[in-house]
Amino acid sequence: MTNKLKYFIGNWKMFGDFSSLKIIYQIHRFCVRFKRRHKKNKIILCVPTTLIYYFNTKLKSKFISIGAQNCHSHKTYGPFTGSVSASMLKNAGAKYVILGHSENRAEGDTNQLIKKKIESALNQKLNIIFCIGETFKEKRDGKTLLILKNQMRGSVSKKYDLKKIIIAYEPVWSIGTGKIPKIQELKKTFKYIKSEFKKNFRTTTFPTVLYGGSVNVNNISIFSSISEIDGFLVGEASQSSEKFIDIIKNYYK
Ligand code: PEP
Dihedral pair phi/psi, residue 132, rounded to 5°: -135, 160
Q: How far is the CA of 214 from the centre of ligand 1 (A)?
A: 6
**Arithmetic mean of pLDDT, 204-214:** 97
CA 45 to chain centre: 9
The dihedral region occupied by 144, where left means phi > 0, alpha psi between -120 and 50, and beta the remainder, is alpha
What pLDDT is attached to residue 253? 86
Kindly state if the Cβ of 235 falls inside 6 Å of ligand 1: yes
Taking the CA of residue 238 as reference, the ligand 1 atom at the shortest distance is 8
* pLDDT more than 70, % of the chain: 99
CA of 202 from ligand 1 middle (Å) equals 30
3 pLDDT exceeds 70? no
CA of residue 204 to ligand 1 center, whole Å: 30
Cα separation, 219 vs 207, in Å, equals: 24
* 170 carries an active-site annotation: yes
Concerning whether 101 is annotated as a catalytic residue, the answer is: yes
What is d(CA 238, CA 110) in angstroms, rounded to the nearest whole number?
27
Q: Is the pLDDT of residue 1 over 60?
A: no
Which pLDDT value is given to residue 60?
Answer: 87
Average pLDDT over residues 236-242: 98
Helix locations, 93-142, DSSP H:
102-105, 111-123, 136-140
Atom number of ligand 1 nearest to Cα 214: 10
Query: Half-sphere exposure of 7 toward its Cβ, with a 13 Å CA cutoff?
Result: 27
Q: Which of 28, 101, 103, 236 is catalytic?
A: 101
